[in-house]
């Protein structure tokens, strides 16, 4: 019988591959505590409208990529394709407004039906950080400093922060109108996808990957021509704050977010280490998003990063190493092995028991795991024997284990 295969675009991990993801999550939890971000959990499933409203009915994510189904009650339900919408829904419906401004972070699975490729899966894992209820540019600086420190903690060198401003609504609307006129005048030179975007959202043409569009895109007006004094001052304070925090950045005047609720800061950390798909972390200020969910005007800024993509870029973590291997080389000593291992674990010393397989090979199997110390329990000539071998004198837990062993 042929074994059942995994669903396309999903993966099961063991050993180093699993350890890489855990290393990314551990670094994220460590850094988010340094910045005072609270850990939160949100549901894996939401009412479809949560994502349709916030991600946009006409985006590829909503129209092509979401895993949507009707539950037994006939309600349209969607597996989360990202975290921000669910966090904002919780902010409105579960009383989080009382804590505003809130600094929250989470991680977990997300789902999108897209073509699997290097670093991209249909079930993937994301890190997510948000500041909700803070409209000051200092919030943008803080969340970008968090992201920058995370990448440094992971040892990911060469990731460049690309930064742009989308301005306030007045600036953005004026820029959008100018882009529409520009692209409309050159519509025949644009590809089919960009022509379709022209009426719906001309800003998205700036994101075009079609080479034929690039000359028209390069000649398009930039946001700087339309910034109000207030919007210009906001962006200046963000860049000044980043400089003060020691976060290196470069201006990316074509970097956009297509949906209207995005305001002011937009950013990506990009690298050339993953081929064409070079973005490892991205986000922006989305002051209008919570209004789309029926809430009051609420400023917010956040980012997300793919854990798998980050895991591909870090050094291989050291494999798990047990402090003490406890070996029963005789079946009669197995209860003693369990008893001693339990004593070690109660003292917060990692212990692995070897009581299965051939008694004569258990010691050899234990040594192959490279423990810091090994305990051998046996019966020879009718008498019980016990031995402790310290293999790594620098391991404090193993040294403590020896003290416990000698005291018995």
SS3 105: strand
Question: Could you give the percent of the chain with pLDDT greater than 70?
Answer: 97
Residue closest to 299 by CA, chosen among 111, 91, 128 = 91
Q: Which of 20-29, 315-324, 379-388 has the highest mean pLDDT?
A: 20-29
The confidence score (pLDDT) of residue 319 equals: 84
Question: Could you give the percent of the chain with pLDDT greater than 90?
Answer: 73
Using CB atoms within 10 A of its CB, is residue 97 exposed (0-12), middle (13-18) or buried (19+)? middle
The predicted model gives 9-17 an average pLDDT of: 91
The predicted model gives 299-306 an average pLDDT of: 97
Q: Tell me the CB-side half-sphere exposure of residue 73, using CA atoms within 13 A.
A: 3
| From 59-63, 70-74, 279-283, 368-372, the region with the lowest mean pLDDT | 59-63
SS3 167: coil
63 has a pLDDT exceeding 70: no
The confidence score (pLDDT) of residue 272 equals: 79
- Looking at the domain 324-406, which fold is it? Rossmann fold (3.40.50)
The confidence score (pLDDT) of residue 162 equals: 96
Pairwise CA distance, residues 182 & 176, whole Å: 10
Pairwise CA distance, residues 66 & 45, whole Å: 11
First vs last C-alpha separation in the chain: 53
The continuous run of DSSP H or E covering 196 comes out as helix 192-200
The confidence score (pLDDT) of residue 297 equals: 94
Going from the C-alpha of 296 to that of each of 79, 257, 292, 325, the distances in angstroms are 26, 22, 9, 59
Pairwise CA distance, residues 316 & 361, whole Å: 30
177-183, Cβ contacts within 8 angstroms, sequence gap of 24 or more: 178/221, 178/225, 178/226, 179/203, 179/205, 179/206, 179/220, 179/221, 182/216, 182/219, 182/220, 182/221, 183/216, 183/220
The predicted model gives 9-16 an average pLDDT of: 91
Q: Is 334 annotated as a binding residue?
A: no
387 has a pLDDT exceeding 90: yes
Pairwise CA distance, residues 405 & 325, whole Å: 13
Pairwise CA distance, residues 376 & 379, whole Å: 10
Beta bridge partners of 268: 162, 282
Q: Is 83 annotated as a binding residue?
A: yes
β-bridge pairing 300-306 and 279-285: antiparallel
119 has a pLDDT exceeding 70: no
Question: pLDDT tens across 175-209, in order?
Answer: 999 998 999 999 888 888 888 888 888 888 888 88
Compute the CA torsion angle 46, 49, 54, 57 (nearest 10 deg): 130
221 band by pLDDT with thresholds 50, 70 and 90: very high
Q: Tell me the CB-side half-sphere exposure of residue 88, using CA atoms within 13 A.
A: 30
The confidence score (pLDDT) of residue 114 equals: 82
The confidence score (pLDDT) of residue 282 equals: 95
Q: Is 112 annotated as a binding residue?
A: yes
Cα 286–chain centre separation:
19
Question: pLDDT tens across 134-178, in order?
Answer: 999 999 999 999 999 999 999 998 899 999 999 999 999 999 999
Pairwise CA distance, residues 244 & 47, whole Å: 42
Domain 16-168+228-311: give its CATH superfamily.
Bira Bifunctional Protein; Domain 2 (3.30.930.10)
Asked if 137 and 144 count as a contact pair (C-beta separation under 8 A), the reply is no
247 has a pLDDT exceeding 70: yes
Say how many C-beta atoms besides its own lie within 10 A of residue 19's C-beta. 18
Pairwise CA distance, residues 311 & 330, whole Å: 42
The confidence score (pLDDT) of residue 193 equals: 86
Question: pLDDT tens across 366-384, in order?
Answer: 999 999 999 999 998 888 9
Ordered by start, the domain boundaries in the chain are 16-168+228-311, 324-406
Q: Is 126 annotated as a binding residue?
A: yes
245 has a pLDDT exceeding 90: yes
The confidence score (pLDDT) of residue 103 equals: 97
Q: Is 130 annotated as a binding residue?
A: yes
The confidence score (pLDDT) of residue 187 equals: 86
The confidence score (pLDDT) of residue 278 equals: 84
Dihedral pair phi/psi, residue 187, rounded to 5°: -60, -35
Asked if 400 and 349 count as a contact pair (C-beta separation under 8 A), the reply is yes
228 has a pLDDT exceeding 60: yes
Pairwise CA distance, residues 404 & 248, whole Å: 51
Dihedral pair phi/psi, residue 50, rounded to 5°: -60, -40
Q: Is 195 annotated as a binding residue?
A: no
């Amino acid at each position: 019988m042929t074994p059942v295969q995994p669903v396309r675009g999903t993966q099961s991990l063991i050993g180093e591959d699993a350890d890489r993801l855990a290393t990314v999550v551990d670094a994220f939890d460590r850094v988010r505590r340094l910045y005072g971000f609270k850990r939160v959990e949100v549901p894996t499933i939401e009412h479809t409208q949560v994502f349709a409203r916030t991600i946009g009915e006409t985006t590829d994510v909503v129209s092509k990529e979401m895993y949507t189904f009707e539950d037994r009650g006939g309600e349209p339900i969607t597996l989360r394709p990202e975290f921000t919408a669910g966090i904002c829904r919780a902010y409105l419906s579960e009383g989080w407004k009382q804590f505003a401004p809130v600094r929250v972070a989470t991680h977990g699975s997300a789902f999108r039906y897209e073509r699997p490729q290097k670093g991209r899966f249909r079930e993937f894992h994301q890190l997510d950080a948000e500041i909700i209820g803070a409209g000051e540019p200092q919030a943008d600086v803080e969340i970008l400093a968090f992201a920058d420190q995370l990448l440094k903690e992971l040892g990911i060198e060469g990731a460049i922060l690309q930064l742009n401003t989308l301005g306030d609504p007045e600036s953005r609307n004026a820029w959008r109108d100018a882009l529409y006129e520009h692209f409309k005048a050159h519509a025949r030179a644009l590809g089919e996808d960009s022509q379709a975007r022209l009426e719906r959202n001309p800003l998205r043409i700036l994101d075009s990957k079609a080479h034929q569009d690039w000359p028209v895109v390069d000649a398009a007006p930039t946001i700087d021509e339309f910034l109000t004094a207030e919007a210009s001052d906001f962006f200046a304070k963000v860049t000044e704050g980043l400089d003060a925090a020691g976060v290196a950045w470069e201006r990316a005047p074509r970097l956009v977010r297509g949906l209207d609720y995005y305001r002011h800061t937009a950013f990506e950390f990009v690298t050339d280490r993953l081929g064409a798909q070079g973005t490892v972390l991205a986000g922006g200020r989305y002051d209008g998003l919570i209004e789309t969910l029926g809430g009051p005007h609420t400023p917010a800024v956040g980012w997300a990063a793919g854990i798998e993509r980050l895991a591909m870029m870090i050094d291989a973590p050291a494999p798990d190493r047990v402090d003490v291997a406890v070996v029963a080389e005789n079946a009669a000593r197995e209860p003693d092995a369990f008893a001693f291992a339990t004593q070690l674990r109660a003292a917060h010393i990692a212990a692995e028991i070897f009581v299965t397989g051939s008694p004569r090979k258990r010691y050899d199997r234990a040594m192959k795991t490279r423990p810091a110390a090994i305990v051998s329990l046996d019966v020879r000539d009718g008498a019980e024997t016990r031995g402790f071998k310290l293999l790594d004198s620098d391991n404090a837990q193993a040294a403590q284990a020896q003290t416990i062993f000698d005291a018995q």
